[in-house]
A and B are shown apart, each in its own frame.
Chain A
């Protein structure tokens, strides 16, 4: 049953229904407006013109917000590359015929999925500070890279586990005949996987990978806690200069929503495209027993 055609649950409204719907709509709108008004009133000291005027200055954007966005996107971009590579390795390992390798990769994947991203970030951050052999890797001005490394590591560990499972389910979702055909033309099972199955699985998981990018961008905000100057942290630095926390907050939220909503739309677009091309069914996060399962607006069953 598709929610888009939800009219099966109710009739097209008649004149009375339309009036009732309008009344409910009006009441709801008034309620939302009242809440917003209450919020605005409560925060009125924080929302006066003077708190917003810093955002009209170019140096606010040049020295705080734009670097914040760049740092957020930088951490997300590096993480998605490293997570894909590690995820590919873990997926291959988990599907390996060597029982030990397969078991080891399963344990690693399950561990990465169970431990909160923030804890892994904190751990790596403290490693770069307290573990001598690692902190030696950051001499002189490189010290500033420590929070970035910690953010990227935390995001990579968790998301590589997600991507590994995506790849595995992508391979599993391919028709059986593919493997049989590969074996039939004389490839061994490893070659079949590498040359026939994986490339299709990667195409099929592209939309899911882009949706996962949204999770990565959002989770990069955890860098706030280890003072990585991402968007949230830089907007708070800015706020401590102008003491306009709430205004800075709202601007940061709007920027995050714009970035993530465009990524969601991109994923939906890719999904539609891969569906029409029929090159392997798109892998859906929902099928995967994963968190943050529903990032696209796509109905699960047609």
Chain B
């Protein structure tokens, strides 16, 4: 038991989970922005934008996240030496930004599909009515269809958020010091605490994802569009 306590003081579990939380929140924001844009493209009047949206979703969604993350870090950051932050910022933060880009780009496909499924729940008559009172495509989308679509999409968006929380572990492939990276190190150096370490880290994820799940199911009933 003493050994386990020593282990916990030696490794900073909280900062690892803090990294997981930061990765999740920033990437969720990025995925929401990119995903909304892609969803709008997929219903837009311009055929080329629709084609681009469909292509983006089909290609990215069928690529493993591990591959996307390693490509961002290896290809764009290490080979091309592309820095998203000023060069003076330390490499760890640079790595973080590329991990966020990879996570956002991947999960944006699920956000886009979620919003599109939300658009599917809006009755056709609403769009017709919006058109009838003279709203343009942009206006009817922004003021009539999307607000309802977003409310209907809370459940799939919540699922994407939870998946994103868990998928942040994949960035350990790029050496970002988040929870699973720490777990790997801890077990390699203290295999005698294998079970304790795993259940501690697993518990961390249960604590992170359970409230999120409860919140999203509460939110989806609260903001449900009554029809």
Chain A interface residues (CB < 8 Å from chain B): 1-3, 5-6, 8-10, 13, 17, 20-21, 24-25, 28-29, 32, 39, 42-43, 45-46, 110-111, 113-119, 122-123, 126-127, 129-131, 214, 217-222, 224-225, 232, 245-246, 249, 252-253, 256-257, 260-261, 264, 286, 289-295, 299-301
Contacts and interface: CB of A to CB of B under 8 A. Distances in A.
Nearest to B156: A293
Interface string B166-179: 11011011000001
A122 B201 CA distance: 12
B167 A286 contact: no
A42 B82 CA distance: 9
Contacts of B66: 221-222, 224-225, 232
A210 to B, nearest CB: 14
Interface string B201-212: 110011001100
A32 B52 contact: yes
A207 B111 CA distance: 22
B4 interface: no
Contacts of B159: 289-293
Interface in B33-55: 42-43, 45-49, 52
A121 B159 CA distance: 22
A188 to B, nearest CB: 33
Nearest to B140: A9
A219 B116 CA distance: 25
A294 B113 contact: yes
B100 interface: no
Given A232-B64, A291-B162, A2 B120 contact: yes
A292 B46 CA distance: 28
Interface of B: 42-43, 45-49, 52, 58-59, 61-67, 70-71, 74-76, 79-80, 82, 110, 113-114, 116-117, 119-124, 126-128, 131, 137, 140-141, 145, 155-156, 159-160, 162-163, 166-167, 169-170, 172-173, 179-180, 183-184, 187-188, 191, 194, 198, 201-202, 205-206, 209-210, 213, 217
Given A126-B194, A214-B62, A253-B67, A246 B45 contact: no
A interface: dominant SS: helix
Given A3-B42, A3-B120, A8 B128 contact: yes
Contact of A1 (B114, B120, B201): B120
Given A123-B198, A219-B64, A24 B46 contact: yes
A43 B72 CA distance: 12
A43 B79 contact: yes
A221 B75 contact: no
- Of listed B47, B67, B119, residue having the most chain A CB within 10 A: B67
A8 B191 contact: no
Contact of B173 (A10, A130, A225, A249): A225
Given A3-B116, A122-B187, A289-B217, A218 B156 contact: no
Contacts of B49: 24-25, 28
A257 B58 CA distance: 8
Contact of A119 (B47, B131, B183, B213): B183
A206 B213 CA distance: 26
B119 A1 contact: yes
Contacts of B173: 224-225
A252 B46 CA distance: 32
Given A1-B127, A300-B121, A249 B67 contact: yes
A293 B170 CA distance: 19
A294 B110 contact: yes
A17 B47 CA distance: 11
